[in-house]
Amino acid sequence: DREWPRPDRCRVITIANQKGGVGKTTSSVNLAASLAMHGAQVLVVDLDPQGNASTALGVEHHAEVPSIYDVLIEDMALADIIVPAPEIPNLYCAPATLNLAGAEIELVSKVARESRLRRALDAYDTEKFDYVLIDCPPSLGLLTVNALVGGDELLIPIQCEYYALEGLGQLIRTVDLVKAHLNQKLKVSTILLTMYDARTRLAAQVAEDVRNHFGDVVLNTVIPRSVRVSEAPSYGQSVMTYDPGSSGALAYSEAASEMAHGGAAQ
């Protein structure tokens, strides 16, 4: 596989949308895998108590595993929880365990509760990575706020369905608040259309609405609905290794290539 250009500095990309089931985890895992397969050093930070990204990367995340919970709540160093993803060289994961669900409440009484992930990233030498992708839970609570404060860029996956745009206003308002008070650098750099069904007019209409609204941050590549994509996690794999020739794998590779080559506006 040909190598893609690597960024001069580590790009920390938060993948958020408070809606569940829009493709946050699938996109985190498969974009990360694609980037790693093209020569980048990549870390996925799993910030969802469900630990779906950890599962999909084939990384253990039972209750005893040192996890992002320990980093956020117990001040453990990020270096002490990061593990390699077994299937793909250059790809690493900071796993999430179920106790992270409690962190949403436990963070409330912590000092600098919105900035704990940022502090952990700052204390760690992120420059050994080209990309850090942060997979968020489906809410706008303190975990997602930590991811918005910790990231430089926001990637919003949008499912090509009827209620796709509902809730985006609230997400953008949260981003604006974070920018104003906690992280000036944050910008919505990338929007990825997911689970596109080419047979429906609705999907085409949603894609057009999103492009009209968000302009050139929307990647040209859209991710099709593909059974192979949804099967891969149960084998502890990204679709990139589970079925590299499938439409889903090819689309995620294209999308990752666009990101590596400077976004959608090329």
Site residues (CB under 6 A) for ligand ADP, limited to 135-174: 138
Phi, psi of 42 (to 5 degrees): -130, 135
Residue from 24, 38, 118, 225 that binds Mg ion (CB under 5 A)?
Answer: 24
H or E stretch covering 193 = strand 187-194
26 binds, among Mg ion, ligand ADP, none (CB under 5 to 8 A by kind): ligand ADP
Tell me the site size for ligand ADP, rule CB under 6 A.
17
25 is an interface residue for ligand ADP by CB under 6 A: yes
180-203: burial string, b at 16+ Cβ within 10 Å, e else: eebbeebebbbbbbbbbeeeeeeb
Report how far residue 245's alpha carbon sits from residue 26's, in angstroms, rounded to the nearest whole number: 17
Choice between 25 and 146, CB closer to Mg ion? 25
DSSP string, 46-72: E--TT-HHHHHTT---STTS--HHHHH
Measured CA to CA in angstroms, residue 4 lies from 38, 62, 194 at distances of 6, 35, 23
Shortest gap between Cβ of 107 and Mg ion (angstroms)? 19
Count of residues touching Mg ion (by CB under 5 A): 3
Q: Count Cβ atoms below 10 Å from residue 164 Cβ, excluding itself.
A: 23
Smallest distance from the beta carbon of 259 to Mg ion, in angstroms? 19
Element (H, E) at 188: strand 187-194
**For ligand ADP, what does the binding mask look like between residues 223 and 242, x meaning CB under 6 A?**
x-xx--xx------------
Integer Cα distance of 110 and 45 in angstroms: 21
* The token pair that represents 147 in the structure block: 């991811």
For residue 221, the partner it binds in Mg ion, ligand ADP, none, with Cβ less than 5 to 8 A by kind, is none
In angstroms, give the least distance from the CB of 57 to Mg ion.
Answer: 13
Q: Which does 89 bind (CB under 5 to 8 A by kind): ligand ADP, Mg ion, none?
A: none
Q: Is 26 in the site for ligand ADP (CB under 6 A)?
A: yes
How far apart (Å, rounded) are the C-alpha atoms in residues 57 and 44? 9
**Interaction of residue 20 with ligand ADP, rule CB under 6 A:** yes
x-or-dash string of contact with ligand ADP, 50-89, rule CB under 6 A: --x-------------------------------------
Q: Which does 229 bind (CB under 5 to 8 A by kind): Mg ion, ligand ADP, none?
A: ligand ADP
End-to-end CA, the chain: 22
Distance CA 74, CA 50 (A): 19
Choosing from 17, 18, 25, 126, the residue that interacts with Mg ion (CB under 5 A) is 25
Q: Among residue numbers 45 through 64, which ones bind Mg ion (CB under 5 A)? A: 52
Nearer to ligand ADP, 5 or 21 (CB): 21
Rule CB under 6 A: choose which of 16, 18, 23, 191 binds ligand ADP.
Answer: 23
Question: What is the spatial distance between Cα 153 and Cα 11, in angstroms, rounded to a whole number?
Answer: 8
Question: Residue numbers of the site for ligand ADP (CB under 6 A)?
Answer: 20-26, 52, 138, 194-195, 223, 225-226, 229-230, 248
User: Interface residues with Mg ion (CB under 5 A)?
Assistant: 24-25, 52
